[in-house]
Structure 1
Amino acid sequence: MQQDLLTQGFELLLYGMGTVVIFLCLLVLATAAMSKTIERFFPEATVPAAKPPAPRAAPAADDAELVAVITAAIRQHRQRG
């Protein structure tokens, strides 16, 4: 009785796991087939490479002002704590 129940359990396990593995394999194959079909009928458009914009040189006055603002912020932060 015990051996028969254990055998039935293993058979059920094999059938269940086999069904899941087969389903997943079919799902992978179907997804790959759909992907190839989409690529065949709707190819990806090629976009010409655009030139990157030329970097702008910042005026020296802006740099000096920025340094002054950052220095004042650091000084104020150090005075608080």
Structure 2
Amino acid sequence: MQDLELLQDGLTLMALGMGVVFVFLTILVISVTLMSKLIGRFQPVPAAVDTSKKASPSSPPAAQNDEVMAVISAAVHRYRSARRR
């Protein structure tokens, strides 16, 4: 009889724990959904960006690119030669 009571108590405790987790996750999903809708409603509309302006050149001069390429090549060569030993 005691084993049956322990099994029943265990199943009751498991159902209670799973129920608490289910309720918590349900409340969490609902609250996140509501917050998302509220933020979407009250967030100001972003200002339009004027794309007609001339953009400044984002790439550095070619001489600097060559120098960077040489430094990277030297570093890779040194790393590979050190790893072979």
TM over 0.5: yes
Question: Could you say what secondary structure the match of 1:15 adopts?
Answer: helix
Which residue of 2 is the match for residue 37 of structure 1? Answer: 38
Q: Following TM superposition, by how much is the alpha carbon of 1:2 offset from its aligned partner in structure 2, in angstroms?
A: 0.7
CA 53–8 in structure 1, closer or farther in 2 if over 3 Å, else same:
same
The within-5 A match list for 1:49-68 is: 50=51, 52-54=55-57, 58=61, 62=63, 66=67
CA shift digits 1:4-49 (9 cap, x unpaired):
1111110111011111111111111111101111210123414416
Q: TM-score when scaled to structure 2?
A: 0.57
Counterpart-to-counterpart distance in 2, 1:57 and 1:7? 74
CA 15–55 in structure 1, closer or farther in 2 if over 3 Å, else same:
closer
Counterpart-to-counterpart distance in 2, 1:22 and 1:56? 54
For these two proteins, the number of residue pairs brought into alignment is 69
Question: Could you say what secondary structure the match of 1:53 adopts?
Answer: coil
Q: TM-score when scaled to structure 1?
A: 0.59
Please list every run of 5 or more consecutive structure 1 residues that lacks an aligned counterpart in the other structure.
none
Counterpart-to-counterpart distance in 2, 1:31 and 1:8? 35
RMSD (Å) for aligned C-alpha atoms:
3.4
Which residue of 1 is the match for residue 7 of structure 2? Answer: 6
